[in-house]
Amino acid sequence: MQVSYSKLKTFGQCPLKYRLTYVEKVPRPPLGHLAFNRRIHSVLRVYHDLARLDGVVRVDDLLKIHDEHSGADREPQIRDGEEYREGEEILRLYCERENRKGRIPAHLEHKIRAPFGPYTLTGAVDRIDLLPDGGYSIVDYKLDRKLPPANPAAIDQQLSFYQLLVHEGLGWLAEDVRLYYLRHGVEKTATRTKAALHETTEWIDETADKIRSERRWQPCEGDACKSCAFWKMCPAKTGKPREQKTVWNQASFDW
């Protein structure tokens, strides 16, 4: 059974949403912000590829890459859009900040698979930095419009999952974990104790076991409903029962 953070989180939010997403694989309409996020991530990867070659990347050169990835080099009117201007500001800030820091990523958007008891942990980590003392730091990019007042990195479950994934898959115990708020040029940094990693292990085991044994797939209303794409087929919203699509050999399905 393959276990990713997204799968665990989705099941915790709503078992029916998990089934529709990962078992029945019901098509969902594309979300505009996801395309924007992917585009920013891809340009940041190019930044670090260029930085490895030249040390410092000119802001204008990075913005030309942004033009190519956004299509503005072919359709100049795209530059008039708010989304384009937001992307330009994010990349300008990132380029100037990273040029000053001169950090060296060991991995970028690195996909990891790691055996973990009866499961296989999977995930893609935005960035793993090599620290001056030879250690490693896990970085997760965030595009939140508002900067949180506290330090969410201290309790962020996804970062805990990534630290465990990196340790099991690469054999590295990261010295710290960071949330990098790209719109603000701010990083929130924290560390993980052995006790915290043990709690993460228990959470993975408990949630994965529930997924494997689940048969009812009941909807669970909550905050996640606001952005859910399955309202039209959710009994909690329509008031009508839904017949589950048959999945061949469900008990052994690779979820």
Verify that 229 and 158 share a domain, yes or no: no
pLDDT single digits (tens) 91-117: 999 999 999 998 989 999 999 999 999
Verify that 109 and 188 share a domain, yes or no: yes
Verify that 109 and 180 share a domain, yes or no: yes
Verify that 111 and 177 share a domain, yes or no: yes
| Final residue of a structural domain among 101, 118, 152 | 101
What is the full DSSP assignment across 149-164? Answer: SS-GGGT-HHHHHHHH
Report the pLDDT value the prediction gives residue 32, as an integer from 0 to 100: 67
Residue 29 has phi, psi (to 5 degrees) of -65, 145
Number of domains in the chain: 3
Say which amino acid occupies 153. Answer: A
Q: Among candidates 20, 36, 40, which has minimal Cα distance to 28?
A: 20
Q: Which residues of the chain have pLDDT under 70?
A: 31-32, 247-255
Interatomic CA distance for residues 83 and 236, integer angstroms: 34
The answer to whether 174 and 193 are in contact (CB under 8 A) is no
Interatomic CA distance for residues 233 and 226, integer angstroms: 15
- Output DSSP code: residue 104: E
Q: At what angle do helices 194-213 and 157-170 cross, to 10 degrees?
A: 90
Interatomic CA distance for residues 125 and 112, integer angstroms: 8
The gap between the terminal CA atoms of the chain, to the nearest Å, is 6
- Write out the residue range of the structural domain in which residue 191 sits: 104-200
The answer to whether 91 and 63 are in contact (CB under 8 A) is yes
Interatomic CA distance for residues 17 and 220, integer angstroms: 9
Contacts of 89 (CB under 8 A, 6+ apart): 183
Verify that 116 and 95 share a domain, yes or no: no
Interatomic CA distance for residues 140 and 142, integer angstroms: 7
Verify that 85 and 156 share a domain, yes or no: no
Verify that 117 and 140 share a domain, yes or no: yes
Is 210 part of any domain? Answer: no
pLDDT single digits (tens) 25-35: 999 877 667 89
Report the pLDDT value the prediction gives residue 67, as an integer from 0 to 100: 97
Contacts of 178 (CB under 8 A, 6+ apart): 137, 138, 139, 140, 153, 159, 187, 188, 189, 190
Q: Which residues pair with 111 in a beta bridge?
A: 124
Interatomic CA distance for residues 102 and 32, integer angstroms: 32
Interatomic CA distance for residues 175 and 191, integer angstroms: 7
| CATH number of the CATH domain containing 191 | 3.90.320.10
Interatomic CA distance for residues 179 and 159, integer angstroms: 8
Q: Which residues pair with 186 in a beta bridge?
A: 181
pLDDT single digits (tens) 188-204: 999 998 899 999 999 99
Verify that 129 and 196 share a domain, yes or no: yes
Verify that 50 and 119 share a domain, yes or no: no
